[in-house]
Structures are given as structure tokens and as C-alpha cells.
A and B are shown apart, each in its own frame.
Chain A
Amino acid sequence: MILILFSFLIIFLFIFYFLRRGFSILEALGLSAIILLGVSGIVPFIGNEFFNISYIYSSIEIFTVVFAISSISMLFLRHNNRKKINYKISKIDFLMLVLVSFILIRGFLLPMRGWDAFSLYDSRALMFLSGTKLSDMIAFSKYDEFNQLYYFSYPPMTSVLHTVLYSGGPTNTMIIYAIFYSVFIIFAYLFIRGMKINGILKFFLFVISVLNPLIFMHTKLAYTNLPTLTFQFVSLYYLIKYGKSYKGLYLLISALFLGFSNWTRSLEPLFISFFIAFAFLILKRKNSLIDKVIEGAKYLFVSMATWLIWSLYIRFTIGGLGDTSPSLLEMISKISSSLLLSNLLDVVFFVYSALSRIGLYILMTLFIFLFVWLRTKKSIKTEEKIVMIIIFTTEALMIGGTLYFSKTFSWWNQIPDSFLRSNLIMIPLTGILSGYFLEDLKTRK
């Protein structure tokens, strides 16, 4: 555990003192916490599956990787002494820190909850710790009437995080989700802090994007939705930062977090919406075609590396997950056959009733889309466009996915809660989008 804390310190110092590209303390703290979580969810798994290193040594592995990467990049990066370090902490920043520490303390105390947490994520963690590899878990399907290949249904991010935590002795796992939630609220705060709108509006936007019970509930459940949401949200933050300055570092960080989110949940292909938003940014930039291709390749490679590792791993261990990871052709044929009116009505009704709990958010987004369309003469900000692209493609993917599911599984309409959980990112995205929209209205009359 001490080694993990040291790794955190290294990342923090590296980001805060060495990169110095306008990282405030709050941002550096959040960023280093989430980078550490992402690295801890990948490195021990690869060490164990491919190099037979036991999970007991995971903290050493993490420390070594963090130390090596930061020292190598220090050699290659130019140290810029002239930039002053931003030590300032405003009163509201301080309030955020107090809020975060409350959430962390609460996380230390809460017991673990959630059906899938016990049957899947934490079960895998306990088995990892006792020396069972994920590839050994195929054997468990043999005498199980249901749940075939159940342990392979999700990538191992949160399971490995639990294992790393357990490797230092029995601990309360909910602290992981408290950290995820803290990072999420820090970045929502950073998003909203930079907007040029009224302070009260900022506060309201923060409340609606962060304190919704649907998201807050996930600090009590050991599910993968909150980690995925946080990774995607941070990825979006740096994608937007990249859109402002076109600095390669932000691109790298954004791609890295997209990769982490693919390592947490692979069921919803939300990375596609990020790719489209990124393609928009790249095409907008005035540089040569070769540069564009190189940038695009970098982004694709870093963000899809984890996805590639996971799908290759699945292919070589169990040979494929069946209907939840179909081929493109099969998907197109099924979706086109799902467009019959009766089925379409079923799907529309399902989506409508499943999303009714975030109906007001959807309504708000729809209004903003409508008004942006009505105000076409006025150009809108790049940030706003990115968020709109991501919202639009995400919902298109979700509805397309539901259409596919409706023709593939008989139980497709039994899981409205699950569908709602997959759409959680709509909550903060609506908050951010309305912030940008209001800012746009204020600055460009």
C-alpha cells in the first residue's frame, strides 16, 4: 500500500512540477489519482496472465511501471523552468477538497453492495488473489447450468483494482468507487469553473451534473458504470482541451483514458462517439494531411490498445463471446430486420420508459439541439460541437444497440435499469452542454 501511495506521489509531482502546462493543484490531484487507478487496473493483469507474476506483487509492479515511465519521459521532455507553478487554491477549490475528503472517508466505511459486484467483479478479484488466472476460469462453466463463460463478460479493470487493494491486506473496496466519484466531481467542477456564466448558474449546473441520485447511488455499488463514466468524462475533458490548443499531451491523456474506459466495459462501443468527435477536431485543424493521419493513428492506437488486448485475449482463450460481440455484417442484417414497425414501436417504448428517469435531461438536450439549429446563422463554439457530437452519437449507438438486442435476445426488454445505467453519461454531458450553450448565448448575441 505504501508503494501505491508513493506511485501516486510520483505521478502527482511529475504532472504538477514537471509538465506545468497550466495544471492547477486540483486538476493535478484528480488526474494523478485517475491515472494511478487506470494503470493499477491493467499492469497487474498483464503481469499475471502473460508473465505469471502473482497479484501479491502488484503494488511493486505498479510502482516500477510508474517510476520507469515518469523517469523515461523526464529524459525526453524539456524542462521549462520559466513557467511559474500555480499554487493558488481559491475558496471554492478548498470547498471541493473538503467535499472530496468527506466522500473518501465515507468510502472507507461503506460495505460493498451490488449483485454483479459479488458474483462477478469481486469474485474474480478473490480468485485472482488466490492464484487463479482468468484463463483458468473457463473450467467453472462446465458444471454451471446457466452463466456460461460468465467471468469473461466484462474486461477486468475493477476486478484487478479490487485485487490490488486486497493484496495489501483486507480492505474496504468501496474506497475505489469513492476515488472514482471524487475524480468525477473534480473534473465536472473544472469543466464548469472555466465557463463564463453567472455563478449561481454554475452552481446549479454542478448540482444537476454531479449530485443526481442515479450517479451518486454508484458510490454505494461496486459496479463498472461509475469507473467507465469517470474515464470517459476525463477523456472528454482533455479532448476539449486538445481542441483548444492542439497540444499533443492532451491528445495522449484523452486517448489513454478512452483506453482505460474500454478496459472497464466493452459492451457499449461509446469510443466510436469519441472517435467521431476527434475526427471532427482533426479535420478542422489547419495542418497537412500527413500530420492529420499521424495524429489520428496515435489516438486510435493508444485508445484501442486495451480493447485490442482484451479482444485478442478473449479470442485466444475462449474463442469469442457470441452474440454480444457480433461481426459487422451480422449486426447490419439484424438491425435492418429489426426495423419492422411493431418491433420499432416496442423499442421506442422501451427506450422511452427506461430513460424516463433522466427524461428532463434528455428534454433539455433536445431543446438545446433545437435552439442551436434555429440559431444556425451564429457559429457555435468547438467545445459545444464536440459535446453535441458525443451526445448525438452516443444516443444513436444506444438505440442502434437496442435494435440489435431486440432481434438477438429474448430478454432485451427486461433490462431497463441496465439500459439506464449505460446512459448515465448523459447526465453530466447535459450539464456541460447547457453550460456551453448558456455561455454561447451570453458571449455571442
Chain B
Amino acid sequence: MYNKFLNLSEKSKNSLFWLGFILSNLMSLFLVFRSSPFMISMGVIRRVFVGSSRLLIPMVYVFFLLVVISFSKRLAADKNIKTKLIALLVAVLALVVIFSLFYFNYQDLIHYSNYSFSRYYIFLPSLKFYANFQVLMLVVGFVSYWIFSFNKWKKVLTINNISFLIVVSLLPLIIFNILVGIPSELKDELYIFRTFVLKNNRQIPDFQSLRDELDFITSNTPPTATIIHPTQSNEFPIIGNQPLIRHGLFPRTLISAKYATDFLLQINNQTDIYYMLSVSYDPTTRIQTIFPNYQVNTSEILILYFDGSVRRVDKPLYVPELVNNLGQFDIGLIKLK
């Protein structure tokens, strides 16, 4: 079948080439700019297009690759300057796409992670796919040009050579993807070295201010203390996670909020029981979650602020409403009476 395709007339080959070229590039561009005002104004058509693109795009790409192979055969055979110019144009366009990926990746890195999307409506994963296809097209075009430049190219196409060429052609593609990932690795490396290694910073990179909170608790409670912490939830993902905070608080006994009553009923005459006073605020729903959200008889309340200062509140009774008088604070400790 492919042989039949190769034997088509010059004119129809030309139109097929331009059809493949325009279709593949236009569709990829639509996908890259899928959230631009123009695309949004398309409404249902846009949704159908984006939804079906998972199937359509690979088909169009394979079609264009076949066209590129036949084009390379022509390029290898005739010395027409026009064909060469077209090849050059396609290659330059491919390089533009590839470099634009690097450029917008870099823009995202130096500004913020969604910069090119919010500023230029460029959907980076699509652009990455597009650029990958361009690399593949360049490799396929180059390799097939090289094969067809042999006089007896049909003899070259043994299963051995084809498999060699396919495996070797995939290498640049993988290396290209590794190269695309390098800038973000470098950025992360620089961030870690600047903020932690060079400044001798004891903070934990993944959990901001957790080290401060744990240090505050350890310095204000004895090792034999018992600490009741909020339940692991969306509101308290970090300090609710008992194994995680045990990393800093061991050997203190840790109690999930659910078991607090059970525990308090069982013990007798144990001192040094603390509540971890914590507030979670969801800016979208504007809901404030306070732990503990009930009254507690207390002998002292300690509050850690974000600037590192500690405030002591002497009240015989803790009520959740107290939190509103404390201002923005990091975490607190309520000592049970």
C-alpha cells in the first residue's frame, strides 16, 4: 500500500504533503492555545476537538510522518531547489517549535509555575508533545533522506537495518525529553543550595515552618509529656499526621484527637498533658477550623507566632473563641490542668 502511495502523481503528492503539514501544525497549535480567548469563543466545537484530539492527533502525526518519508525520497532524488527550500522551511519551523518549548519552560521557571499559561495562554504539556513530534519528524526525515540517498535503497531496508534505525531514532527523542527536564532540576538544585545548604538552614524543605513548630513543642514540653493533636484531615494535613510529627516529638506520647476522651478517662494522676492549639483557614470557603473546638481547663497557654516570638496567656479556661483575640499565630500549646 505504501508503495502505491509512493507511486502517486507529483501533484497529488504535493497536495498530500501540504495537507499533512497544515493539519498537523494547525491542530497542534489549536491544542497548545486551547484556552486562548479565540478558542474559548468556539464553545462546543472546542470541547469536541480537544476531547477527540487524543485519537485524532496521533493519526494525523502518523500520516504526516509517512508524507515526510515520501517527501525525503523526492528530496534525495531530484535536485530541484524548490523541494530543498520546502525542506528547509519545515526544518526551521520545527526548530522554532522546539526552541519555543525551551523558552516558555524557562519563562515558567523564572517567573512562576503557570506563567506562560496565564500570560500567553500556552498549554505547556501540549507544546511539549508538539515539540516531541517535531524532533521525531526531524529524525525520521533525516534518516529516510539518508536511506533514500543510497542508489539501491531497497536493499538497505532489511529488517536488521530498520530495527537499528528505529531504536537509534528513539534515542534522540528520549535525550530531548531529558534535556527539557534539566532546567527545572537546576532550579530546584539552586533553590536547595541557596536557601538551605549555604545558609545552614535547619528547616525541612518540604514542610515550611514545621521545624519551628516541632522545636517550639519540644522546648516547652518534657520528654514524658503527652500531646493531643488534631485529626489527620484536609484541614490539618501535616500536624495531623502522627508519624510525621513523631519525627520531631519522639519520645512524647501522641494522641489523635479522636482518642483524646478515651485516653483522658483511662489515665489517673498523669500530669504534662498538652493540646496542640492549631487553626486552619481555608481562603476559598472562608471556613476557620480550630482545634480543640471545645472548652479545656488549663494552667497555661503558649502561643508561637510566625516571627518566632512566644506569648504566654494566663487563663484558667480555654475556649475556642480565644483564638480570635490572638491574631495570626503559627501554633499553640494548651497545658491541661
Known: A111-B192, A144-B256. A123 touches B168 (CB 8 A): no
Q: Is B57 an interface residue (CB 8 A)?
A: no
Tell me if A144 and B254 are in contact (CB < 8 A). Answer: yes
Q: Is A25 an interface residue (CB 8 A)?
A: no
Tell me if A220 and B192 are in contact (CB < 8 A). Answer: yes
Q: Once the chains are docked, how many angstroms separate the CA of A140 from the CA of B247?
A: 13
Known: A360-B173, A434-B167. A143 touches B204 (CB 8 A): no
Tell me if B243 and A204 are in contact (CB < 8 A). Answer: no
The residues of A that contact B188 with a CB separation of less than 8 Å are: 220
B235 to chain A, nearest CB (A): 14
Residue of B177, B207, B232 with highest tally of chain A CB at under 10 A: B177
The residues of A that contact B174 with a CB separation of less than 8 Å are: 208, 360-361, 364
B45 to chain A, nearest CB (A): 26
The residues of B that contact A445 with a CB separation of less than 8 Å are: 160
The residues of B that contact A144 with a CB separation of less than 8 Å are: 242-243, 254, 256
Known: A145-B256, A213-B185, A438-B164. A140 touches B246 (CB 8 A): yes
Tell me if A437 and B254 are in contact (CB < 8 A). Answer: no
Residue of A201, A213, A216, A220 with highest tally of chain B CB at under 10 A: A213
Q: Determine the residue in chain A with the shortest Cβ distance to B162.
A: A371
Tell me if A371 and B243 are in contact (CB < 8 A). Answer: no
Mask, B230-270, CB within 8 Å of A = 1, is 01100000000111101100110111111100010000000
The residues of A that contact B171 with a CB separation of less than 8 Å are: 201, 204-205, 208, 434
Q: State which of A110, A127, A150, A201 has its C-beta within 8 Å of the C-beta of B168.
A: A201
Q: Is B193 an interface residue (CB 8 A)?
A: yes
Interface size class of B (residues with CB under 8 A): 35 or more
A158 to chain B, nearest CB (A): 14
Give me the interface of A with B, judged by CB distance under 8 Å.
109-115, 118-120, 122-123, 126-127, 130, 132, 140, 142-147, 150-151, 201, 204-205, 207-208, 211-213, 216-217, 220, 360-361, 363-364, 367-368, 371, 374-375, 434, 437-438, 441, 445
Q: State which of A111, A122, A208 has its C-beta within 8 Å of the C-beta of B175.
A: A208
B234 to chain A, nearest CB (A): 13
Q: State which of B164, B175, B177, B181 has its C-beta within 8 Å of the C-beta of A204.
A: B175
Tell me if B204 and A119 are in contact (CB < 8 A). Answer: no
Q: Once the chains are docked, how many angstroms separate the CA of A150 from the CA of B174?
A: 38
Tell me if A438 and B178 are in contact (CB < 8 A). Answer: no
Subset of 29 A-B contacts with CB under 8 Å: A110-B192, A111-B192, A111-B201, A113-B204, A113-B205, A113-B206, A114-B206, A115-B244, A122-B247, A123-B247, A130-B251, A140-B246, A140-B254, A142-B259, A144-B242, A144-B243, A144-B256, A201-B168, A207-B175, A213-B182, A220-B188, A360-B177, A361-B174, A364-B170, A371-B167, A434-B167, A437-B163, A437-B167, A445-B160
Q: Once the chains are docked, how many angstroms separate the CA of A340 from the CA of B163?
A: 36
Q: State which of B166, B206, B263 has its C-beta within 8 Å of the C-beta of A367.
A: B166
Tell me if B159 and A375 are in contact (CB < 8 A). Answer: yes
The residues of A that contact B175 with a CB separation of less than 8 Å are: 204, 207-208
Q: Determine the residue in chain A with the shortest Cβ distance to B242.
A: A144
Q: Once the chains are docked, how many angstroms separate the CA of A120 from the CA of B243?
A: 7
20 additional A-B residue pairs with CB within 8 Å, beyond A111-B197, A146-B242, A364-B174? A109-B197, A111-B196, A111-B201, A111-B204, A111-B205, A115-B206, A118-B244, A118-B247, A119-B241, A122-B247, A143-B242, A145-B231, A147-B242, A212-B178, A360-B174, A361-B174, A364-B167, A371-B167, A374-B163, A434-B167
Give me the interface of B with A, judged by CB distance under 8 Å.
159-160, 162-164, 166-168, 170-175, 177-178, 181-182, 184-185, 188, 192-193, 196-197, 201, 204-207, 231-232, 241-244, 246-247, 250-251, 253-259, 263
The residues of A that contact B263 with a CB separation of less than 8 Å are: 143
Q: State which of A112, A360, A441 has its C-beta within 8 Å of the C-beta of B160.
A: A441
The residues of B that contact A211 with a CB separation of less than 8 Å are: 178
The residues of A that contact B206 with a CB separation of less than 8 Å are: 113-115, 118
The residues of A that contact B253 with a CB separation of less than 8 Å are: 143
Q: Once the chains are docked, how many angstroms separate the CA of A109 from the CA of B195?
A: 12
Q: State which of B185, B205, B241 has its C-beta within 8 Å of the C-beta of A216.
A: B185
Known: A144-B254, A145-B232, A374-B159. A213 touches B181 (CB 8 A): yes
The residues of B that contact A371 with a CB separation of less than 8 Å are: 159, 162-163, 166-167
Q: Once the chains are docked, how many angstroms separate the CA of A60 from the CA of B168?
A: 51
Q: State which of B204, B207, B258 has its C-beta within 8 Å of the C-beta of A145.
A: B258
Tell me if A438 and B168 are in contact (CB < 8 A). Answer: yes
Q: Determine the residue in chain A with the shortest Cβ distance to B203.
A: A111
The residues of A that contact B193 with a CB separation of less than 8 Å are: 109
B57 to chain A, nearest CB (A): 14
A370 to chain B, nearest CB (A): 8
B238 to chain A, nearest CB (A): 9
Tell me if A130 and B250 are in contact (CB < 8 A). Answer: yes
Q: Once the chains are docked, how many angstroms separate the CA of A112 from the CA of B207?
A: 11
B201 to chain A, nearest CB (A): 8
The residues of B that contact A119 with a CB separation of less than 8 Å are: 241, 243-244, 246-247
Tell me if A127 and B250 are in contact (CB < 8 A). Answer: yes
Q: Determine the residue in chain B with the shortest Cβ distance to A126.
A: B250
The residues of A that contact B201 with a CB separation of less than 8 Å are: 111
Q: Determine the residue in chain B with the shortest Cβ distance to A142.
A: B259
A25 to chain B, nearest CB (A): 29
State the 3 A-B residue pairs at the shortest beta-carbon distance, nearest first: A371-B163, A119-B243, A145-B256
The residues of A that contact B182 with a CB separation of less than 8 Å are: 213
Q: Once the chains are docked, how many angstroms separate the CA of A119 from the CA of B245?
A: 7
